[in-house]
Copies of this chain bind each other. A is one copy, B any other.
Amino acid sequence: MTGRDGGAALVREPGAPVVILVRPQLAENIGSVARAMANGGLFDLRLVSPRDGWPQERAWRSASGADRILDAASLHDSVDAAVADLQRVFATCPRPRHIVKPVLTARGAAAEMRAVRRLGLGQGILFGPERAGLDNEDMARADALIRYPLNPEFSSLNLAQAVMIMAYEWWLSTDATPPRRLMTNETRVATKGELENFLTHLVAELDECGFLRNAPKRPGMVRNLRHLFERGEVTEQELRTLHGVVTELARGRRERT
């Protein structure tokens, strides 16, 4: 089951939560879980009594290269055995029943996990079997429950997607990506002076061709054109293109006169 070259870059991050699949049914899902863990920078996978035994070739086939996670996964015959070395255990739970535990959102849980990591404690997250989810005995092993805020009218969540959301929130909880930025690989947003140059060029040509001949409306029309070009975060390269567009469109008239 080893020796694939995919996922060579995957590494164990000390203190990150261990993912513990309790009685998972389908090997394909175990593979998809490994892929989702890789997406969110999680590495340690523990399997408690997988229904069809372990290892299973089909898991590697659905892992899309996250082979190292599967290669390193450990097998346990009870939840107690799987969590024995950990200090903090979370249990995902779509429908909390009569259990008195703190209940966290996925985002809240990720923040808590970062805090646990800073304390140097070992931690893990329990995910239940595909159909039934964790039972009360499983959940009794957890310090806190995690319930995702999702559509209560449709709560059937695929196992790998449940892991995906937690892995995503784990990754996000350190992320500093600004929520919005302009992608400009080979150019830069134009300066206001460059934009002004273009607007001067455009308005001169529009005066020339008579588009702005209605004197009372002229200031409003010019202002509207300005609004449009100010808003789009025009790049320096695009401005050069626009200069060319205006020049070429007007060329015929210039050559005629």
Contact = CB atoms under 8 A, between A and B. Distances in A.
A25 to B, nearest CB: 14
A191 interface: no
A253 B96 CA distance: 41
Contacts of A187: 100
A225 B241 contact: yes
Assign chain A's interface to a size class.
35 or more
Interface in A108-158: 108, 111-112, 145, 147-151, 153-158
Contacts of A38: 151, 153-154, 156
A106 to B, nearest CB: 8
A3 interface: no
A160 interface: yes
A144 to B, nearest CB: 8
B108 A39 contact: no
Contact of A64 (B112, B158, B232): B158
Contact of A206 (B158, B205, B248): B248
A123 to B, nearest CB: 16
Interface of A: 7, 9-10, 32, 35-36, 38-41, 64-66, 96-105, 107-108, 111-112, 145, 147-151, 153-158, 160-161, 164-165, 168, 171-172, 175, 177-187, 202, 205-206, 209-211, 221, 224-225, 227-229, 231-235, 237-238, 241-242, 244-246, 248-257
